[in-house]
Structure 1
Amino acid sequence: MQSVIDIQWWQLAVFSLTLLIPFYINFHYQLGFAKDALVGLGRMTLQLIMIGLYLEFLFQLNNLWVNLSWLVIMVAVGTSAIVSKTNLPLKTLFTPVAMSLAAGLFPLLAILATAVIKPDPYYHAQYAIPLAGMLLGNSLTSNIVCLQSFFSSLKERWPEYQAALSLGASPIEATRPFVQNALQHALAPMLATMATTGLVTIPGMMTGQILGGASPMVAIKYQLMIMIAIFVMMSIATTLCLYLVIRRTLSSEGRPQVAVA
């Protein structure tokens, strides 16, 4: 197997000229995304370079408490991103969303580090940080979809919710149909991805390892591991997030504590 082939910065700059194609499409059809695309590309480039430099330092330092602190920061930033997309108060939902992400992330990372991959030391940043990034990244999307779907359904079917309360249902019982709908919407993309992985798509982690010179069978085992971990974390995080958010946004009598209807 070949070792990883480095890409020169000038080669990357030349390849970036392909961006002229989407910008021409934007100009031709007057789509209006040029400014957002430029800002997004600029931020992405700066952020990736900064995180690349930081991760090189982090991998060399490889300190348990520094690694743990970085994971906590990742959870906090991810929580803020989720809540901001729901248009609900950050102060109200930060704690329940952060708890749900942490409850899904840290136990899974511990299992992977101590029982599956077993790096030396077990908190090795080269494994802990990228794995946490993949788990959190996928869980962000599922939690955003889950919360948006839940509150949208609750708003549209508010009389149904009130009717269930009037018949003696608790808020948890009255919101069960909305929870079911939200979880189905949140997990559906991942279920579709699992069903087509290997046949239609070759996932990023597997592709990266193969390009880095790893054996395809080793890459497959890592990909299976991360796909299972992502699905488990998404299931834990979305379910716990909805439960905690419902407890925080609805009183024991079922009255909304924030504007949900």
Structure 2
Amino acid sequence: MGAQDLNIFSLGTLLIFLVPILYISRYLKLGINREIIIGMVRMCLQLSFVGLYLEFLFKFDSPWLNTAYLLLMISIACHSILKSSNLKLRIFFKPLFFALLIPFGIMLLFFNGVVANIDNLFEAKYLVPVGGMLLGNCLRSIIIGLTHFYSGLKKNEREYLYSLCLFNNRTQALKPWFKESLVAAINPTLASMATIGLVSLPGMMTGQILGGSIPIVAIKYQIAIMGCIFYTEYFSVILSILLSLKTGFNTFDVLKADIFQNDRN
């Protein structure tokens, strides 16, 4: 027994609450009404497309097709991360792609093969939803990590260069910014983990219950996925910074001047 279906009219009634939001935003001259409308329209169109595509994906259940879709998801995630972090795509896309792919791939296959213990590791109904949850939760952490690291380093570049002048290597000189960025990136997830079940009922658990699973089974899945999310986030943040050092710095260990999107050089 699955969740009760929602008709188009019932979904449309949610737009009632959009009217006061648009009015208040216009009254306060926030200048975000256009972004709100575009965001809502894009969300609806994108989710509708994904719904149709997933039906096709689940029907054929091809390992190659499923893997290709996950690689596409990683590519889109990298583009979104770099745009939000104000870092140039051509410089950081490749290292960020592998920084996401390595821990993501390991944790996804480990969840399917060891935790969920399914026969086909590339089965679409496990691979795509679980992969989407891992990637979606990694976005915020990596954005925070990269933004803190490169913006903080740019702001305090003299301090970094002074550390190099004291005969520290690049790794030693960058250590304060690396530690600060990692803590800032992981803290929101740690806070969420500390209050989960008390303050909020997470998405996977809710979906399992609505899908007909008993609460204890839903809780087991949620514990497993939260562990995988945290591990993926932690290692992805570390790798995204470490792998980007080669492209973000020149041969003299100096931060490149043109790594930010708003740079005109």
**Same fold at TM > 0.5:** yes
Which whole-Å CA distance do the structure 1 matches of 2:38 and 2:108 have between them? 34
Aligned to 1:226: 225
Aligned to 1:202: 201
Matches within 5 A, 1:54-93: 54-93=53-92
The amino acid of 1:94's aligned partner reads: F
Q: Secondary structure at the match of 2:204?
A: helix
Aligned to 1:17: 16
Offset at residue 160 of structure 1 (A): 1.3
**1:61-93 Cα deviation digits (max 9, x unpaired):** 100000010111111111111112232221111
Matches within 5 A, 1:1-261: 3-259=2-258
**1:39-79 Cα deviation digits (max 9, x unpaired):** 11111110000000000110111000000101111111111
Which whole-Å CA distance do the structure 1 matches of 2:51 and 2:111 have between them? 23
Offset at residue 258 of structure 1 (A): 4.0
Normalised by the length of structure 1, the TM-score is 0.95
**Does the 8 Å CA contact 2:79/2:93 hold for their aligned counterparts?**
yes
Give the stretch that moved more between structures: 187-196 or 19-28. Answer: 19-28
**Does the 8 Å CA contact 1:151/1:260 hold for their aligned counterparts?**
no
The amino acid of 2:246's aligned partner reads: R
Alpha-carbon distance change, 254 to 129 in structure 1, aligned in 2, over 3 angstroms:
same
Which whole-Å CA distance do the structure 2 matches of 1:105 and 1:15 have between them? 35
**Does the 8 Å CA contact 2:113/2:119 hold for their aligned counterparts?**
no
Which whole-Å CA distance do the structure 1 matches of 2:4 and 2:28 have between them? 38
Give the stretch that moved more between structures: 224-233 or 121-130. Answer: 121-130
What number of residue pairs does the alignment pair up? 260
Alpha-carbon distance change, 28 to 88 in structure 1, aligned in 2, over 3 angstroms:
closer
The amino acid of 2:138's aligned partner reads: S
The amino acid of 2:62's aligned partner reads: N
**Does the 8 Å CA contact 1:154/1:260 hold for their aligned counterparts?**
no
Which whole-Å CA distance do the structure 1 matches of 2:40 and 2:116 have between them? 34
The amino acid of 1:188's aligned partner reads: N
Alpha-carbon distance change, 260 to 57 in structure 1, aligned in 2, over 3 angstroms:
closer
The amino acid of 1:234's aligned partner reads: E
**1:109-150 Cα deviation digits (max 9, x unpaired):** 111111111234221111110111111111111111111101
**1:198-247 Cα deviation digits (max 9, x unpaired):** 11111111112112221111111111111100100001100011011122
The amino acid of 2:196's aligned partner reads: T
Name the Cα RMSD after superposition: 1.5
Which whole-Å CA distance do the structure 1 matches of 2:49 and 2:199 have between them? 33
Which whole-Å CA distance do the structure 2 matches of 1:244 and 1:116 have between them? 29
Normalised by the length of structure 2, the TM-score is 0.93
Which whole-Å CA distance do the structure 2 matches of 1:158 and 1:15 have between them? 48
Alpha-carbon distance change, 22 to 189 in structure 1, aligned in 2, over 3 angstroms:
same
Which whole-Å CA distance do the structure 1 matches of 2:188 and 2:19 have between them? 31
Identity among equivalent positions (%) equals: 36
5+ unaligned residues in a row in structure 2: which ranges?
261-265
Which whole-Å CA distance do the structure 1 matches of 2:85 and 2:3 have between them? 41
Runs ≥4 in structure 1, deviation > 6 angstroms?
none
**1:156-200 Cα deviation digits (max 9, x unpaired):** 221210111001111111111000011111001000000000111
**Does the 8 Å CA contact 1:249/1:258 hold for their aligned counterparts?**
no
